[in-house]
Amino acid sequence: MRTIPPPPSVVAGRSVAPSRALRLAAVIGATLAVAVARADVASPADAVVGTWTSSGGYSRIAVERCGDAYCGSIVWLRDPVYPPGSRDGVPGEPKRDDHNPDRSLAARPLLGLRMLDGFRYRTDDATWAGGNIYDPESGNTYRARMRLAGRDRLELRGYVGIPLFGRTTTWTRVPDDAPADGSASAPRN
């Protein structure tokens, strides 16, 4: 004997009026759509993720999530090798972390160097705080905090002790379609 499937107006063995079945399907569909849409919305904390050009345009730093914090590494340098006549390194060789006070780290290349570390997002003031920024030009590490000053401007404040005793620099976001060689580093408006 052949089994005939129930008509569409039967749900879980109960008879349901066609209009109620449509409403039920609409509610289920809407619930799934909202769940999928919410999954695609990034956390406000991730707004800092991306590649940024340092003030002066000498380097680009890729900021990313590192576990439960945020970090950043140098991914591009305007002048990645020592110039002719350099006293800091061998001309034509990749620039190194020459000014690091830890001599065992002074030979590491600047490209790929992690210079931001340990930043955590604070919802109360929409900043990333509690991190450190390393300055390869001086070899010094400072406590730091970051905040977005618009979608494509990142303000970093490095300081000793308390933020009052520090300096703020502004980085600009690198457009997603910018060439990897850094030839077009103007910020988006």
User: What pLDDT score was predicted for residue 188?
Assistant: 42
**pLDDT tens-place string over residues 80-96:** 999 999 988 999 999 99
Rounded Cα–Cα distance for residues 164 and 79 (Å) = 33
Q: Which of 34-38, 60-64, 183-187 has the lowest mean pLDDT?
A: 34-38
Is the same domain home to 115 and 55? yes
**pLDDT confidence bin for 176, thresholds 50/70/90:** confident
Is residue 15 located within the same domain as residue 73? no
141 and 110 in a common domain: yes
Q: Are residues 35 and 55 in the same domain?
A: no
- List the CATH number of the domain containing 117: 2.40.128.520
Q: Are residues 64 and 92 in the same domain?
A: yes
Amino acid 26: pLDDT: 46
Rounded to two decimals, what is the model's pTM?
A: 0.73
Residues 20 and 89 in one domain: no
| In a domain? residue 72 | yes
Residue 166 belongs to some domain of the structure: yes
Examine the domain organization and report whether 143 and 159 are in the same domain.
yes
Q: How are beta strands 69-77 and 50-53 bridged, if at all?
A: unpaired
Above pLDDT 90, what percent of the chain? 66
Identify the pLDDT of residue 179: 76
Q: Are residues 111 and 150 part of one domain? A: yes
Same domain, 133 and 151: yes
- Count of domains forming the chain: 2
How far is 92 from 84, CA to CA, in rounded Å?
A: 7
Asked whether residue 70 is assigned to any structural domain, the reply reads: yes
| Together in a domain, 105 and 169 | yes
Q: Mark whether 130 and 160 lie in a shared domain.
A: yes
User: Minimal CA–CA distance to 129: which of 114, 142, 113?
Assistant: 142
3-state secondary structure the chain: CCCCCCCCCEECCEECCHHHHHHHHHHHHHHHHHHHHHHHCCCHHHHHCEEEECCCCCEEEEEEEECCEEEEEEEEECCCECCCCCCCCCCCCECECCCCCCCCCCCCECCCCEEEEEEEEECCCCEEEEEEEEECCCCEEEEEEEEECCCCEEEEEEECCCCCCEEEEEEEECCCCCCCCCCCCCCCC
C-alpha closest to that of 120 among 161, 82, 67 = 67
The answer, yes or no, to whether residue 35 has pLDDT greater than 80, is no
**Residue 101 and residue 32 share a domain:** no
| Cβ–Cβ under 8 Å, residues 155 and 149 | yes
110 with 94: CB under 8 angstroms? yes
